[in-house]
Amino acid sequence: MPFHRIAEHDEREEPPEEAFHLLAEQGFGNRLIPREYGGLLGSFEELMSLMRILSRREAGLALGYGSSFFAAFPTWPWGSAAQRGFAADRLRAGAFGAIALSEDQAGSDLLATQTTAVRTPGGFCLDGEKWPIGNATRSEFVTVLARTEPGHSLLLADKSALPSDGFRHLPKVAMLGLRGHELSGIAFQRCDVPKSALIGELGQGVEMVLSGLAITRCLVGGMCLGMADTALRIAVRWALERRLYGREILALAPVREALTSAFADLLIADCVAITAARALTLRPERASLWSAVSKYLVPALCQQVVWGAAQVLSARFYMRTHVTSGMMQKLHRDIAFTGIVDGTQHVQLAAIAGQLRTLAARTGPAHPGIPELFSLATTAPAWRPPAARSGPWRADQDEITQSWRDETAPGQTAVAHLADLRRHQGTLMTEARELRWPGRPPARAYELARRHCVIHAAATCHQIWVGNRDLIGQEFAQGGWLTLCLERLRAMLGDAPSEPRSAMVDDEVAGWLLRAAEAGQMFSVIPVPQG
């Protein structure tokens, strides 16, 4: 899938079918099926990494498979053996699935769902429109959230078995980015589905969806990292090849600053995303909080990376036929979607704000940390679907920010950054305890949630460095990257650096970036080859 072919598909607003076909031949659908049920899905850290790899070339591939995974997800913990077998067979054969949650008027408010599933002697009668939905038209099976008596329930429908006059596909939605992704909808009109379509028990639908969202929000992080990696790689290559004033533009201070800053933001996002994905099987009871933090922060940081990389191209960024066939423009359009899918940034902040009150109210001794969460030499355990039946959870403690006590740092500047960030953490908890609201969170609660995300990122970056500095390469161990990341996170809290950053730190971070690019490694704390 060379860049020019990807760009051609994008211009025609069509999916890269040859790539989907190749992935199906390689058995990618097996990666969406848990090992417990005959597939290859182990930990979600693995699956997120695969989404990252796909998105380096075309995010629509990851989104297509991600939608299929979400459609099948409820069957693994809650479905019958027949439902699990059906979903596994379809995914293994390369078929697409669709998760029908959204409605035009309801948006992300699941409880506002108007689609109904009324009990009949033979099963259920579905009525209502689901829009917009990924894979809606090309999917072979669809999982539908509908109002039932009682509550809301999920129904798994084999579209080939539905009455032809019981549903119709809605037109494809024209989008700013991800133009090849199949986003449309389904309208159900007195559509009969059998009793066997019900997943789990009546009224369990919202619980199942929230459990699935905790996972897919982390998978979106993989999409973001993949797109940001490609954008930064294009910019580095351009900075080395483009010559002005007698030498490559990498020698220009603004270009070098843009690249090192983008690299630092990408490493912050990397640490947050990896930790959130590992936590899904290491500490699933924290998923509701940590996945929301990841979903808020990783898209925002990676959008900054893409925009910073675009600035390095300067005027070439606005030309659609020159540098890498216009891929930078495509990445700029595509990555904006990641802040919207599976809940907007405001939705994530509202979820975090609601849990901050619980965290702030808790008193007692410091929580024990979770060293295995940050130790990248420790393999995250495989997912066991039956364990998901007791979720989703609301966090009553936060081992990442509230157990953050290690004073080890790569230098005095980093020590100062850490001390200041911990002061911010203490102030944040005090303000969260004092803030009360009876209904929806006020504006101040959203701001506290945003600050919590920044502190979470700082704690994660620091603990990943502490836990792996003897295991990963020299650039990682030296810790200049951590110093720069902490400085940038402090700036997100409104702090100005007390003294200029050492030129040695800039050189160290820039050297790591250039060496990784030359060696063909992903821009990550983990030295993984591009492939």
| 76-90 confidence digits (pLDDT tens) | 999 999 999 999 999
Measured CA distances, 503 to 309, 460, 487 (Å): 21, 25, 14
Looking at the structure, do residues 7 and 91 belong to the same domain, yes or no? yes
Residue 362 pLDDT exceeds 80: no
Please indicate, yes or no, whether residues 84 and 113 belong to a single structural domain of this protein. Answer: no
Question: How many independent structural domains does the chain possess?
Answer: 2
- Within a domain: residue 8? yes
Structure confidence at residue 365 (pLDDT): 63
Write down the pLDDT at residue 142.
Answer: 98
For the segment 166-191, the average pLDDT, to the nearest whole number, is: 97
Residue 393: count of CB within 10 angstroms of its CB: 17
Question: CA nearest 31: which of 16, 46, 53?
Answer: 46
Do the Cβ atoms of 255 and 312 come closer than 8 Å?
yes
* Cβ contacts of 520-523, under 8 Å, gap ≥ 24: 522/52, 522/229, 523/228, 523/229, 523/232, 523/233, 523/263, 523/266, 523/267, 523/270
Same domain? For 90 and 128 the reply is: no
CATH number for the domain including 64? 1.10.540.10
Query: Among residues of the chain, what percentage have pLDDT more than 90?
Result: 85
Q: Could you tell me the pLDDT band of residue 14, with boundaries at 50, 70 and 90?
A: very high
333 within domain boundaries: no
| pLDDT the model gives residue 499 | 67
Q: Judge if 126 and 197 occupy the same domain.
A: yes
493 pLDDT exceeds 70?
Answer: yes
Q: Are residues 79 and 119 in the same domain?
A: no
10 Å Cβ neighbour count for 95? 17
Q: Are residues 23 and 71 in the same domain?
A: yes
pLDDT, mean of residues 468-486: 94
Determine the 3-state secondary structure of 78 from DSSP: helix
Nearest CA-CA partner of 341 in 222, 192, 469: 222
- Please give the pLDDT value at position 363: 67
> Confidence class of residue 270 from pLDDT cuts 50, 70 and 90?
very high
Residue 15 domain-assigned (yes or no): yes
What rounded mean pLDDT belongs to the chain? 94
pTM value > 0.75? yes
Range of the domain at 73: 3-97
The pLDDT confidence band at residue 452, using thresholds 50, 70 and 90, is very high
- Which two tokens mark 77? 């913990």
Kindly state the DSSP code that residue 142 receives in the 8-state scheme: E
Of 160, 176, 202, the residue that ends a domain is 202
Higher local confidence (pLDDT), 243 or 367? 243
Give the pLDDT of residue 528.
85
pLDDT of residue 322: 78
pLDDT tens across 186-233, in order?
999 999 999 999 999 999 999 999 999 999 999 999 999 999 999 999
What CATH number corresponds to the domain at position 109?
A: 2.40.110.10
Confidence tier at 321 by pLDDT (50, 70, 90): confident
Structural domain includes residue 513 = no
Same domain flag for 111 and 194: yes
- CB atoms closer than 10 angstroms to residue 18: 11
Tens of pLDDT, residues 405-421: 888 999 999 999 999 99
- For residue 495, tell me if it sits in a domain: no
CA distances from 190 to 103, 118, 165, 167 (A): 17, 9, 9, 8
Q: How confident is the model at residue 494 (pLDDT cuts 50, 70, 90)?
A: very high
15 lies in the same domain as 66: yes
Q: Are residues 10 and 74 in the same domain?
A: yes
- 314 or 276, which is more confident: 276
Residue 243 resides in a domain? no
- Per-residue pLDDT band for 403 (boundaries 50, 70, 90) equals confident
Do 126 and 193 lie in a common domain? yes
Sign of CA dihedral 360, 362, 365, 369: negative
Task: Give pLDDT, residue 315.
Answer: 87
Mean pLDDT, range 48-54, rounded to an integer: 97
Same-domain pairing of 142 and 181: yes
The pLDDT of residue 366: 63
Assess if residue 507 is contained within a domain.
no
Domain assignment present for residue 9? The answer is: yes
| 193 & 160 share domain | yes
Residue after which a domain boundary falls, among 169, 202, 235? 202
Does the pLDDT of residue 296 top 80, yes or no? yes
Element (H, E) at 187: strand 183-194
Decide if pLDDT at 306 tops 70.
Answer: yes
Output the CA–CA distances (angstroms, integers) from residue 259 to 53, 83, 420, 506, 513, in the order listed: 21, 49, 26, 10, 8
Among 74, 97, 120, where does a domain finish? 97
